[in-house]
């Protein structure tokens, strides 16, 4: 295979390919590099349900401003713990949620009439797990769609806070097109904790859809084995692809998506070559074929750069740094997934505060696992903790961490509830075993 040089901001479009290019004309030719991918053995497939995730996409500079639509529901009681659930969409009339939904809302652009949440198995299952794990909690559901802007997400959080929620659950992971958008989503979650709401979120299922590296020079970045291309998917892929590149320092990177054509030049099918900011973004719909991702450093930085393929596997991966907003926010409780033996699921993003066995049977979605299931399972424990005392979000997190053991930080819900009830040591000084909390 031979990589075709990316010329002056030209986007080559294959038959059936729909995509957009981010960048500007007048970018110097970075030069052809042949045979850069080499032979790649695709990693093994994920466990059943491991791909369950929340919405992706979104942009801080979305063309439409956000709005909300309120629809009243039957309340449970003035003393009930109020739980807000953020998701793409919900079936608020699902039988498993009967009598539990106090209100729901949907952030909408101007000119779109308010509407009840549409049926959505994934997010309805999240709400169902919370309802099943709590006796009297009131549910406040807010749909943000499949590609919320940062402003829409902020409005969703604001609506929940205006309704006085005690706990927020979001089983989604978000990939804004800008670093600013990522920061704003995380800051919205942090604002919820500052207003006394415990924010529980999935760590994400991106350990095998993420790569992190620190370039030591300009030019094409090399992945784990020295190759300069990161193969996308297990074999041939087709359909929508979301690629993101994020970094923190004063560097300048470009993101390229190539099609692998054995015996021919590999054409650029999409690229993002912004001259400002700390992110590059590609969203494309691909015809069936073999593809790989490459990163070019115009000016290499000293900090790591993170590559995400939100909906596809990567051949070269790194679990470290694989969490995105809102799981990377300070003060939130991020939840990972473990199997029945207590081992971290291979797809579970690194850095979770606690983990649980991600196995739930739901009416809305059937068997439901992945970190999307893990987050509402832990949220049920959080509701029980808040029912037993006026613990702050930081104290709730301390209780959960103190009730988690091992490298996987697997949570023991019964021990967490016992700490909250005062049956064992205070969470700010030690847990049931006397171990100091960190």
- Write the pLDDT tens digit of every residue in 290-336: 999 999 999 999 999 999 999 999 999 999 999 999 999 999 999 99
| Three-class HEC string of 257-308 | EEECCCCCEECEEEEEECCCCCEEEEEEEEEEEEEEEEEEEEECCCCCEEEE
Check whether 415 has a pLDDT greater than 80.
Answer: yes
List the single range of 24-28, 132-136, 193-197, 360-364 with lowest mean pLDDT. 24-28
Q: Which residues pair with 87 in a beta bridge?
A: 143
The upper half-sphere exposure of residue 334, i.e. CA atoms within 13 Å in the direction of its Cβ, equals: 26
At 45 the pLDDT is: 25
Quick check: 245 and 307 in contact, CB under 8 A?
yes
**Residue 79 banded pLDDT, cuts 50, 70, 90:** confident
Pair of tokens at residue 93: 């009339």
Give the CATH fold of the 2-24+208-309 domain.
Jelly Rolls (2.60.120)
User: What's the pLDDT score for residue 3?
Assistant: 52
Beta bridge partner(s), residue 70:
105
* pLDDT single digits (tens) 146-182: 889 999 999 999 999 999 999 999 999 999 999 999 9
Query: Any idea what the Cα angle at residue 322 is, between residues 154 and 43, rounded to 5°?
Result: 135
Angle subtended at Cα 159 by Cα 154 and Cα 160, rounded to the nearest 5 degrees: 100
Q: Break the chain into its structural domains and give their ranges.
A: 2-24+208-309, 70-206+323-421
Task: Say whether pLDDT at 423 is over 80.
Answer: no
Q: Quick one: average pLDDT of 116-133?
A: 83
pLDDT attached to residue 226? 84
Please check the confidence at residue 137 and state whether its pLDDT lies above 60. Answer: yes
Predicted pLDDT at 225: 79
Right CATH for 70-206+323-421 from 1.10.1060.10, 3.40.50.200, 3.40.50.300, 3.40.50.970: 3.40.50.200
pLDDT at 6 over 50: no
Q: Across residues 190-195, what is the average pLDDT?
A: 98
Nearest partner of 295 among 310, 285, 280, judged by Cα: 280
> Stretch 327-349: mean pLDDT, rounded?
97
DSSP conformational letter for 80? S
User: Cβ distance 328 to 199 under 8 Å?
Assistant: no
Q: What is the mean pLDDT of the chain?
A: 82
390 or 13: which leads in pLDDT: 390
Residue with structure tokens 């498993």?
Answer: 96
Burial grade of 91 (CB within 10 A; 0-12, 13-18, 19 or more): buried
Q: Which residues of 127-143 are buried (b: 16+ CB within 10 A; e: fewer)?
A: bbbbbbbbeebbbbbbb
Q: What proportion of the chain, given as a percentage, has pLDDT over 70?
A: 76
Q: What secondary structure does DSSP assign to 177-216, as a single string?
A: SSHHHHHHHHHHHHHHHHTT-EEEEE--S-TTSEEEE--S
- Between 3 and 117, the more confident residue is 3
Q: What is the pLDDT of residues 93-118, one digit of tens each?
A: 899 999 999 999 998 665 444 433 43
Q: What is d(CA 71, CA 419) in angstroms, rounded to the nearest whole number?
A: 37
Please tell me the distance from the alpha carbon of residue 261 to that of residue 33, in angstroms, as a whole number: 14
**pTM, to two decimals:** 0.82
Task: Indicate the pLDDT class of residue 61, thresholds 50, 70 and 90.
Answer: very low
- Buried b or exposed e, range 340-357, using 16+ CB within 10 angstroms: eeeebbbbbbbbbbbbbb
Question: Residue 168 burial by CB count (10 A; 0-12/13-18/19+): exposed, middle or buried?
Answer: buried
Average pLDDT value for residue range 339-365:
96
The answer, yes or no, to whether residue 259 has pLDDT greater than 70, is yes
Q: What is the CA radius of gyration of the chain?
A: 22
pLDDT above 80 for 358: yes
Length, in residues, of the chain: 438
DSSP class of 79: T
Q: How confident is the model at residue 20 (pLDDT cuts 50, 70, 90)?
A: very low
Nearest Cα residue to 261 out of 11, 35, 41: 35
The tens digit of pLDDT for each residue in 393-412 reads 999 999 999 999 999 999 99
User: Using one digit for the tens of pLDDT, what is the confidence trace for 215-249?
Assistant: 989 999 999 878 999 999 999 999 999 999 999 99
What per-residue confidence (pLDDT) applies to 21?
41
How crowded is residue 38: how many other Cβ atoms within 10 Å of its Cβ? Answer: 12
In degrees and rounded to multiples of 5, residue 258 shows phi and psi of -110, 155
Residue 358: HSE in the Cβ half-sphere, 13 Å Cα cutoff: 36
């Amino acid at each position: 295979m031979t990589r075709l040089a990316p010329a002056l901001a030209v986007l080559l479009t294959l038959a059936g390919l729909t995509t957009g290019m981010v960048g500007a004309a007048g970018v110097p030719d970075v030069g052809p590099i042949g045979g850069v991918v080499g032979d790649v053995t695709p990693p093994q497939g994920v466990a059943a349900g491991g791909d369950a995730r929340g919405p992706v996409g979104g942009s801080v500079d979305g063309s439409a401003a956000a709005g909300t639509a309120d629809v009243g529901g039957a309340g449970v009681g003035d003393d009930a713990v109020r739980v807000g659930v953020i998701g793409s969409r919900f079936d608020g009339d699902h039988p498993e949620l009967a009598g539990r939904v106090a209100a729901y809302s949907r952030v909408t652009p101007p000119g779109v009439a308010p509407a009840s949440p549409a049926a959505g198995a994934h997010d309805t299952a999240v709400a169902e797990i919370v309802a099943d794990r709590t006796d009297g909690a009131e549910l406040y559901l807010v749909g943000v769609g499949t590609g919320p802007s940062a402003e829409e997400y902020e409005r969703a959080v604001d609506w929940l806070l205006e309704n006085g929620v005690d706990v927020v659950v979001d089983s989604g992971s978000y990939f804004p097109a800008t670093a600013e958008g990522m920061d704003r989503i995380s800051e919205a979650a942090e604002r919820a904790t500052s207003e006394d709401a415990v924010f529980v979120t999935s760590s994400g299922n991106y350990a095998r859809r993420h790569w992190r590296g620190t370039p030591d020079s300009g030019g094409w970045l090399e992945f784990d084995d020295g190759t300069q291309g990161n193969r996308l998917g297990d074999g041939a892929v087709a359909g929508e692809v979301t690629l993101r590149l994020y970094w923190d320092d004063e560097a300048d990177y470009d993101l390229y998506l190539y099609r692998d054509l054995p015996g021919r030049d590999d054409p650029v099918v999409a690229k993002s070559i912004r001259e400002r900011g700390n992110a590059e973004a590609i969203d494309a719909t691909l015809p069936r074929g073999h593809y790989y991702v490459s990163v070019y450093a115009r000016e290499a930085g000293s900090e790591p750069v993170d590559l995400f393929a939100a909906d596809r596997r990567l051949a070269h991966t790194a679990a470290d740094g694989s969490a995105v907003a809102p799981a990377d926010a300070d003060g939130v409780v991020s939840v990972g997934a473990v199997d029945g033996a207590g081992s971290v699921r291979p797809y579970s993003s690194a850095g979770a505060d606690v983990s649980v066995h991600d196995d739930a049977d739901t009416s809305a979605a059937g068997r439901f696992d992945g970190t999307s299931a893990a987050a509402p399972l832990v949220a049920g424990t959080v509701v029980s903790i808040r029912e037993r005392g006026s613990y702050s979000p930081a104290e709730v997190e301390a209780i959960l961490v103190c009730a988690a053991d091992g490298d996987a930080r697997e949570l023991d819900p019964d021990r967490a509830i016992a700490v909250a009830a005062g049956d064992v040591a205070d969470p700010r000084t030690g847990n049931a075993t006397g171990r100091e909390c960190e």
